[in-house]
Amino acid sequence: MVPVFLFTLIGCCLFIVYGALIDYYHRAWTSIAVFAGNAPTGHTRISVLIPARNESLRIASCIESLSLQTYPKHLYEVTVIDDHSTDGTSDIVEGLHYPSLTLRCLRPSEVPDQPGTVAYKKLAIETGIRAATGDLIVTTDADCLFHPGWLTTLAAFYEQKGAKFIAAPVRIGHPIRLSFLSVFQTLDFITLQGITGAAVHKKFHSMCNGANLAYEKRAFDEVDGFKDIDTIPSGDDMLLMHKIYKKYPDAVFFLKSPQAIVSTRPETSWKDFFHQRVRWASKADRYDDRRIFRVLLLVYLLNASFLILAVAACWNLWWLWLLVIGLLTKTLLEFPFVNTVAGFFDQQSLMRWFPLLQPFHIVYTVFIGWMGKFGSYRWKDRIINK
């Protein structure tokens, strides 16, 4: 009986702390004012950087979306950095022509290929920054689409807040048809975005997504760019964010605005989805920001406890009852928060699937956390080992 009591007590303590954390994120998210600032002054020059590898199927749509921006064309440039593509990405970019849009492509010969490196995306971004003429660096991905007022909103927010770093919202676009995979990853992504906005707004910990970032070129140079994190495969977003946060803690913001939302495509196979998530998780033990590490540890332990309960339930009915009660409690704790964030992204219709996906999300969280620490992954036809 002692092990039963002890495990039950530990589980209750984990749930109390986790519940307080989710409630904190919920209140923090709802406290973020939707930005509706004045029009930008027209003085901020923006350099949009798009690192791209083998994106021939999507890069044209991305550039077309950028050509429709309401921000004055003479105040922004778009640079695609071809990260050694083998599918003619550069040729497609160079064949695109939009009136007044400053568009260029840095070919693979202009991107350093350092032997032994795994930080390919950071090398591409650094190459783009060296060629940038703008004061504000904006990074995104080649599979993204943008609201016409995206750059205008970013510029207005940057000028009004005096920001050094801006994390902005990303959503997974509506798939051609709903599937288990598309619903699962969209709800997971909504949750991550809610945590991102809440954490950055309250300066609780650093979190962002590289598909929609903006930072001062000067601030990037002042923190020596990716120096000291240039041996890590990923982290061109969150690890850089924390470097700038340490120097400018009051100048790092989350921009909550429908006009600032960037849409990215969903992964179309479970294999690609898992490789993507393992890549994201692979930097968890490299965070200089110990605050987020403690949050990740709490989440991992809570989810791992469900798997332990599931195994123990095969021998004792008490564990089965704890498992069912735990699943219901977890769902009730998370649903209001995720539902609120889904409303901002106009994706509340997917919330009807949220309770049904809880068991799968628990297994996924434990698996991805383990693989992020000890496994390898394939990304853009490259195998990355931990």
Dihedral through CA 248, CA 249, CA 253, CA 254, nearest 10? 130
Structure confidence at residue 253 (pLDDT) = 97
Is the pLDDT at 309 greater than 90, yes or no? no
Region 367-377: mean pLDDT is: 73
8-state DSSP, 211? T
Q: 94-103, 230-239, 338-347, 376-385: which range is least confident on average?
A: 376-385
CA-CA-CA-CA torsion sign (157, 211, 178, 149):
positive
3-class secondary-structure state, position 2 = helix
- The overall average pLDDT reported for the chain is 87
| pTM: predicted TM-score of the whole model, two decimal places | 0.89
Ordered domains of the chain (ranges, CATH): 1-386 (3.90.550.10)
**Per-residue pLDDT averaged across 42-61, rounded?**
92
Q: Does residue 358 register a pLDDT over 70? A: yes
Q: According to the model, what pLDDT value does residue 2 have? A: 47
User: In this structure, are residues 224 and 122 in contact, taking their beta carbons and an 8 Å threshold?
Assistant: no
Q: Rounded to an integer, what distance in angstroms lies between the CA atom of residue 199 and that of residue 194?
A: 8
Give the integer Cα–Cα distance in Å for 135 and 40.
14
User: Higher pLDDT residue, 297 or 254?
Assistant: 254
Instruction: Say if residue 181's pLDDT is above 60.
Output: yes
144 neighbors 160 (Cβ within 8 angstroms): no
Contact predicate 262/158, CB 8 Å: no
- State pLDDT tens for residues 187-211: 999 999 999 999 999 999 889 999 9
Q: How confident is the model at residue 322 (pLDDT cuts 50, 70, 90)?
A: confident
- 264 forms beta bridges with 172
Question: What span, in angstroms and rounded, lies between the C-alpha atoms of 212 and 260?
Answer: 9
Q: What is the mean pLDDT of residues 113-117?
A: 55
The rounded distance, in Å, linking the Cα atoms of 142 and 110 is 18
Alpha-carbon distance of 16 to 318, in angstroms, equals 20
pLDDT category of residue 368 using cuts at 50, 70 and 90: confident
Instruction: Report d(CA 79, CA 344) in Å as an integer.
Output: 30
Give the per-residue SS3 of 138-196. Answer: EECCCCCEECCCHHHHHHHHHHHHCCCEEECCEEECCCCCCCHHHHHHHHHHHHHHHHH
Contact criterion met (CB below 8 Å) for 293 and 199:
no
Phi, psi of 384 (to 5 degrees): -110, 120
The pLDDT tens digits of the residues spanning 267-305 come to 888 888 888 888 777 766 666 667 788 888 899 999 998
Q: Are 225 and 130 in contact (CB under 8 A)?
A: no
pLDDT at 236: 76
DSSP 205: S
Max mean pLDDT among 211-215, 230-234, 320-324 falls in 211-215
Q: Which stretches within the chain are classed as H helix? A: 2-31, 59-67, 89-94, 120-131, 150-161, 180-202, 217-222, 238-247, 270-281, 290-312, 317-344, 354-374
What's residue 234's pLDDT?
A: 67
Report CA 233 to chain centroid distance, whole Å: 15
